[in-house]
Chain A
Amino acid sequence: MSDTALHTRTRRKGTWLGLVAWLAGIVFFLPIAWMALTSFHSETDAATNPPSWLAPLTLDGYREFFGAGGGASPWPSLINSAVASVVSTLCVLLLALPAAYALSIRPVKKWTDVLFFFLSTKMLPVVAGLLPLYLFARNTGMLDNIWLLVILYTSMNLPIAVWMMQSFLAEVPVAVIEAAQIDGAKLPTVLSRIIAPIAMPGIAATALICFIFSWNELLFARVLTSVVAETAPVFLTSFITSQGLFLAKVCAASLVISLPVLAAGFAAQDKLVQGLSLGAVK
């Protein structure tokens, strides 16, 4: 076989595999695309077989979801979710940053043991502590209180954040810090001028990932909240039983509630794998 023939063959194979990759991407994305399309269809067009791809578009599904048809408004649950996710993420950062500092830049003795303790708490299943937490909340009047979720979400995400930030702070060269200290820089200056610029992208990604996990959480929210502190995923559970023709509404609801996660996830795309593997993979 001549050299050019081999070349065209490998190139043709490359195009073919590229097409397969595209096909796989489309297959995986199809349910989401279909969900988006259905959310803009009328309820009758949404429930046809074969599917109506080209039915006229309408915002009725979204109007229904936001309570135009007399159903419960999703806004309180969306606000609760936002509060629980944002506040718990801030708490996580507040606790994890100093901890990560003490585990990387100025490490304590046996710092790897401490790091692995944090990781092991993540491996303790949520259900293992659910009942005592429920009994505790009931006896202290904390049931259906968004701040209880803030505390629990903080504990849920803290190990991930400590691991991620430890790996980001470890990238800060110690020599630079020492040089600055010799030049008389105090700790606040070192933190803001040297450590922050290097670690900032990592800290941002950590925050986004913590936000995603808090926003997605169902089990705690389902057991520990009911009316007042209901979060968005709990609101979604009201769609579990079929209510006649409601596909457009379900799709609109699922899409609206997933939007913050999709946005945060794509923003953190490059660091996503590092966060999900608890910093083990870079």
Chain B
Amino acid sequence: MTATTTARVAAVPASTAKQPSSRLRGWVTRAPLLPALVFMIIVTQLPFVATLVISFFDWNALYPKARHFTWFGNYAEVLTDADLRRSVWTTILLTAAVVLASLVLGLGLALLLDRKFRGRGIVRTLLIAPFLVVPVAAALLWKHVLYNPEYGLLNGLLHYVGGPQPDWISNTPLLAVEMSLVWQWTPFMMLILLAGLQSRNHEQIEAARVDGASNWQIFRYLTLPHLRRYLELGALLGSIYIVQNFDAVFTLTSGGLGTANLPYTVYQSFYQAHENGLASAAGVLVVIGSLIIATFALRVVSSLFREEASRA
């Protein structure tokens, strides 16, 4: 019915009388979308524009009278300040390490879970659980219950085998943060990759097996190419979430011992140091970093999206 009406409207040469009604129809179709769209623009885009503006001002909240326009002064300061530059580096290191490690572990677990075995459902549930612990709670768990040098579980287990008793957070602070995040994010990667594995073409794999392909060959030449985009998606979504990580850094080390990443630095520079201009400039830099990742992420999502659409 709709199709015929549209066809008729299109067939009639655009007369002046028809135009208002088709425009009205356009607005009727658009109406359900508008509240969500307007809401999103106001709540997410406006604050960012404000951040952009503030980032050009030298503005410490403790000295509001001294506020003045400084062009790219804050950016220059962010990029030359040793602490801030280190936090840029920490962010990259933290994100890359966590994403790579959880992707590799997640791939291994997804391959294990892709086979049938007794209790597969239970194992799947056990593996998802770490992702479903409130991030602050997970960070507290690692900080106090697992990493504690005197009576933490890790050193308790090492004690059984007569191993060393390291002070995990003081000795290897960044690694400690990374380990807790890998524990939480591996299930996420596993779920995405498992979905990828289950969408493989099983007939093709059977055919290859009949033709005498080994497990390794099937994995290398059929499974891995098919998984490529799921791996990309996992890596990009993981990066977007982990670049923004605040909870683990805040809880485990309070940004100390060289673990302060950009989100923590932005938080600290305006919440504790009241350096509004600097914080905004650092925030804009986080956005630029995220946009670079996001461009790739959007491309992957849209290619998967188009494939789904064509399959449907």
A contacts, CB < 8 Å to B:
14-15, 17-18, 20-22, 24-26, 28-32, 34-35, 38, 46-51, 95-96, 98-99, 101-103, 106-109, 112, 114, 116-136, 151-152, 154-155, 158-159, 162, 167, 170, 178, 181-182, 212, 215-216, 218-219, 222-223, 232-233, 236-237, 239-240, 242, 246-247, 250-251, 253-255, 257-258, 261-262, 265-266, 269, 272-273, 276-282
User: Given known contacts A218-B136, A251-B145, A272-B128, is B36 in contact with A123 (CB within 8 Å)?
Assistant: no
The reply to whether B263 and A237 contact each other, CB–CB distance below 8 Å, is: no
Nearest to B297 among chain A residues (CB) is A123
Nearest to A10 among chain B residues (CB) is B215
Task: Determine which of B2, B152, B270 lies in contact with A131 in the assembled complex, contact meaning CB atoms within 8 Å.
Answer: B270
**B279 shortest CB reach to chain A, Å:** 6
**A71 shortest CB reach to chain B, Å:** 15
The reply to whether A269 and B145 contact each other, CB–CB distance below 8 Å, is: no
B contacts, CB < 8 Å to A:
1-2, 26, 29-33, 35-37, 39-40, 43-48, 50-51, 54, 108-109, 112-113, 115-120, 122-138, 140-146, 148, 150-153, 155-157, 159-160, 183, 186-188, 191-192, 194-196, 199, 230, 233, 237, 240, 243-244, 246-247, 250-251, 254, 262-263, 266-267, 270-271, 276, 279-280, 283-284, 286-287, 290-291, 293-294, 297-298, 300-302, 304-305, 308, 312
Nearest 7 Cβ contacts at the A-B interface:
A18-B117, A129-B47, A98-B32, A132-B50, A254-B137, A265-B132, A123-B294
In angstroms, Cα B119 to Cα A154, docked, is 38
In angstroms, Cα B146 to Cα A55, docked, is 18
In angstroms, Cα B127 to Cα A272, docked, is 13
User: Given known contacts A250-B140, A251-B145, is B47 in contact with A132 (CB within 8 Å)?
Assistant: yes
User: Given known contacts A258-B134, A261-B132, A273-B192, is B294 in contact with A128 (CB within 8 Å)?
Assistant: no
Question: A29 contacts which chain B residues (CB < 8 A)?
Answer: 126-127, 129-130
User: Given known contacts A31-B146, A125-B263, is B286 in contact with A262 (CB within 8 Å)?
Assistant: no
**Among B108, B115, B145, B271, which residue has the most Cβ atoms of chain A within 10 A?**
B145
The reply to whether B134 and A28 contact each other, CB–CB distance below 8 Å, is: no
Task: Determine which of A24, A136, A280 lies in contact with B304 in the assembled complex, contact meaning CB atoms within 8 Å.
Answer: A280
